[in-house]
Amino acid sequence: MAPSADAARPPAVLDHGARAERLLALTRDMLRLAETGDWVLLAERENERQNLSAELFATPVPRESAPVVAECIRRLLDLDQDLLTLVQSHRDEAAQAVRDTRPGRAATDAYRRFSR
């Protein structure tokens, strides 16, 4: 049995390509969340996406991974345009949903009101 193409690649190549593909999948998921109005989960995914993006570019992209990473980034940027349009059109709703889910928000607001 011949070794798989992934087995022949160095780990760094696999890591960058896999991270780029995960970043693209995460962005697709975020677009679906925006389409359904799940702003809280969308915000959580954005934090995850920022962390993954930082990991992806923490080290130089190996030459062997560059085509996969570049294609994923091109597709991600296209999806980001759609995502941005949805978020902007629902900005107030999204902001309120995120504010409503912050732990302790009501207690903090009450404390501020009555501590003056």
Amino acid 90: pLDDT: 84
Distance CA 1, CA 74 (A): 35
Average pLDDT, 10 consecutive residues per value, the chain (116 residues): 49 76 96 92 92 91 93 95 90 72 54 46
Listed residue (23, 31, 73) closest to 50, CA to CA: 23
Amino acid 14: pLDDT: 56
Amino acid 92: pLDDT: 78
Amino acid 78: pLDDT: 94
| Displacement of CA 72 from its chain's centroid (Å) | 13
Domains along the chain with CATH numbers: 11-114 (1.20.58.380)
Distance CA 109, CA 116 (A): 12
- For 16, 43, 97, 103, the CA distances from 106, given in Å and listed in that order, are 42, 20, 14, 8
Has this prediction a pTM greater than 0.75? no
